[in-house]
Structure 1
Amino acid sequence: MSDAREPDTAWRVCMVVFSGYPSDPRVRREAAALRRHGIEVDVYCLRQPGECRTEDCEGVTVYRIFDAPRSKETLARYLVHTLRFTLRALFALSAKARSGRYALYQAHTMPDFLVFACVIAKWQRKPIILDLHDLSVELFAAKLDGAKRRLLGLVALQERLACRFADHLITTSWGFHERLLQRGHPEAKISLVFNAADPVLFWLDRERQFLPIGDELHLIYHGTIAERFGLHRLLEALPRIRASHPGVKLRLYGKADPSYLRRLESIIGDLGLSAQVEFGGWRSAHELMECFRQADIAVVPYLHDEFMDIAVSTKTFEYAAAGLPVVATRLKAMTSIFPDDSITYVAPGSSAALAQGVLSLAADPDRRARQSRLAHKAQDALSGQVMADRYRGLVADLIRASQSGVGEIGNQFGAHQAVPVRSSTRSAGLAGEAETLPPNTSTVESYR
């Protein structure tokens, strides 16, 4: 892949995403990476209440073409909303692109079929990237049960067609990468770009002091509040933690699935935790960094299933970048990046294990300091700057290839670009050592 030098001419990239901007962190990071090197970016996305239809966000032109649905929890609602958004995007992109405005198109999943909104790029012979934040088949397999599982065939079909339609695929997890290979997609067509922490937004807090913790223990979780992230287990662990730290506080930041939020509120009421738990809502990255500085320990209580086991927690990168010690459930993708001495790992699905992990880490200031240092070192090799350079280089190469008339542009780049990452799952003979592997991570939101 080429270096990320300045473009020879003025390039403009089109991105489309069934999410908000700048609230979607991956889209924001990628757009910013391009803008820093003179590549213009237009983003077509959802509009939240109070947002402008068109806006310049730090040099990125944002077209909010569809009002964000109030609820997309059910599969039927999700399908209706995403189909309507895809059609709206198709017309919007086609109208803007007739003048040859865009040098490259990029669709962000989910849904996978959103990439077909970029069909005009095929007529213009412009490259199309499909950025697979998550893998639909594994995600829906984890969410659907009973008769609904019969829909998995359709989910797999639309994913396969979308991946074939795109010229290049980006994904976020080594596990996702392997699944795509198993499905027959060429390795050279796939690049991996971690959802690593942006060092401008999440920086090492060198003023943090690792002191003994008394009654007041401050815990934090940020990100989507949905069942698969295991927050009900964390709430169930709080009474045990409160026995040793009566003043414990758990602050939860992020958007919540309404039905799951009601379940959590019920648990809080049943366990008498109203004084211990605070829902802080969605916060910007700048605000989150200040929240991190006020916390003692971050908790990532993910549940275990086929999807979560191969999806890496974005939030863990951000905690590690900020030097905040972490307690997390043990999942394969996580341990492939963060060694055992950098994270306090606990068995998934166990509130007792979560409580014990938090208590043991809270009781040992030296261990918290050591974990902070080692986790920061582990994420530093996959920093936001490293990933930004990788992504920007890919975009530049794809555009140059299309402009120079190279034929199969989707087969020129990809997984040969490797970065150092520890792997406990892929190299049993090198346990605990570094090896060169492609990068991986993932985020998941509702049915998105």
Structure 2
Amino acid sequence: MRKEIGIGLLGFGVVGSGVATILHKHREDLQHKLGVPVRIKRVLIKNKEKERDTELPKEAFTDQLEDLLNDDAIDFIVEVFGGTDDAKTAIERSLKAGKGVVTANKDVMAVYGKELLALADENSCDLFYEASVGGGIPLIRTLEDGLASDRISSLLGIVNGTTNFILTKMKEEKKTYEDALAEATALGYAEADPSADVDGIDAARKMAILASLSFSSEVQLDDVFVRGMSVIEDGDLELAEQFGYTIKMAGSAKKDENGIEVAVEPVFVKNEHPLASVNNEFNAVYVYGDAVGETMFYGPGAGSLPTATSVTSDIVAACRNLLLGVNGKRIHSYQYERKVKSDEQKFASYFHRISVQDEIGVLSRLSSIYSHNKASLATVIQHADPKREDADLIFITHAISRDQHLKVIEELKVAPEVNCVLSHYRVEGD
């Protein structure tokens, strides 16, 4: 009869210390649920001399990975020190040593998930990664287990709290992008270098993970179409509101008989859609299943304890597998071959905002560009100011392919009547 389960912890930063706190404060609850105590045996850190506010003894800390891998009292490894290369190497070495892994590393799982899951299968080990997406939202386990009997057809969600916080402040409090970003940084929602968030890279990694899991098919990071927040122009938030939409930095993934499409970009979301009311740092993901229909998962997308809660839920799952003797029994291989849609196969409605010369005949000439590309228009509105010589034309299309959309935009850019294409967005939630 096993007397306890030992854990090796890689990293003791914001998330790592949060995991240690939860395991300590909830130790009696966890022991009751599992039947044995769960204890952190060793912690890999860079600086052993640094003072840390923790219940763990100082001798538990080491700067040598081998101390964890060679310790028979450690049953599995929890990787929370982030980064890519060192984390990937540590996960690989842990799996080869026969120790299962729990990781919160979206960067590693988005790029190397397929090979790491295969390595886990080869070594009969578990590899859990719930906290890599959605912070405290139990999204991955729900997709893997709760909706395992269903066939997921699409996902639409806000998976980056930083950009959602910024857009909320810009819309609700009329703050500039710079002021909203400064507030997000001060509150700890944005990094000193926020480019991964505002350029859409962080969300793209998460969507690649979610799409691969939901569709049981490999989705590579390069398969994700990405546009960052920099495309949002002055006046776009107000225009969206005027037309009954809210701009959200959203991730989407869809699968049909033609293949898979995944994108991360600012989109117009209909105000009636639940995602439109998800504000500040919160995340939410809408999941569409053939059998279950529409479901939405909502909660804090980041932070020490929400993320640590997801990590700890994986720890509990790994412990249960260990106690039942079923480590590494889950099948990780993809059911379907990778098949990514072309731009001709991706359909959506689009919002176009164009600055034009305010003169007779412009509207009909530009409408012919849409007609020429077989792009049907749902809405056409002109915004003119008597004090200006130019005007803004607003076009909202019916569903057209991304290829049609791009061709229309390119023709508009070179049309003599057009001063510039101010902005364009995909429309969701109709």
TM-score of the superposed pair, with normalisation by structure 2: 0.39
Name the one with the larger strand percent: 2
- Which structure has the larger Rg over C-alpha atoms? 2
Higher relative CO (Cα under 8 Å, sequence separation at least 6) belongs to 1
The TM-score, its normalising length taken from structure 1, stands at: 0.38
